[in-house]
Amino acid sequence: MIPAVVLAAGAATRFGAPKQALLLPEVLAALARSSVDDVVVVVGAYPLEAEVRVVDCPEWERGSGASLRCGLKALARDTEAVVVVLADGPDLSPAAVDRVIDHWRSGAGDVLAASYGGVRGHPVLLDRRAWARIPDEGARALEPVLVPCDDLGAPGDVDFADEVPGRLREDVSE
Does 170 have pLDDT greater than 80?
no
**pLDDT, greater one: 15 or 152:** 152
Contact 86, 159 (CB under 8 A): no
DSSP 56-73: E-TTGGG-HHHHHHHHHH
* pLDDT digits 0-9 by tens, 53-90: 999 999 888 888 999 999 999 999 999 999 999 988 88
Does 172 have pLDDT greater than 70?
no
Q: What are phi and psi of 145, to 5 degrees?
A: -85, 125
Q: Give me the helices (H) in the chain, please.
A: 20-32, 64-73, 94-105
Give 170: exposed, middle or buried? Use CB within 10 Å, 0-12, 13-18, 19+: exposed
Contact 43, 11 (CB under 8 A): no
Provide CATH code, domain 4-162. Answer: 3.90.550.10
Residue-level pLDDT at 38: 95
Contact 100, 81 (CB under 8 A): no
* pLDDT digits 0-9 by tens, 90-142: 899 999 999 999 999 999 999 999 999 999 999 999 999 999 999 888 898 99
Which range among 12-26, 64-78, 81-95, 159-173 shows the weakest confidence by mean pLDDT? 159-173
CA distances to 56, 94, 141 from 125, in Å = 22, 14, 13
Does 173 have pLDDT greater than 80?
no
* pLDDT digits 0-9 by tens, 141-151: 999 999 999 99
Residue-level pLDDT at 166: 75
Residue 174's pLDDT band (boundaries 50, 70, 90)? very low
Whole-angstrom distance, CA of residue 98 vs CA of residue 64: 23
48 CB contacts (<8 Å, ≥6 apart)? 8, 18, 20, 21, 24, 41, 54
Question: Any idea where the domains of the chain sit in the sequence?
Answer: 4-162
32: nearest Cα among 77, 97, 81: 97
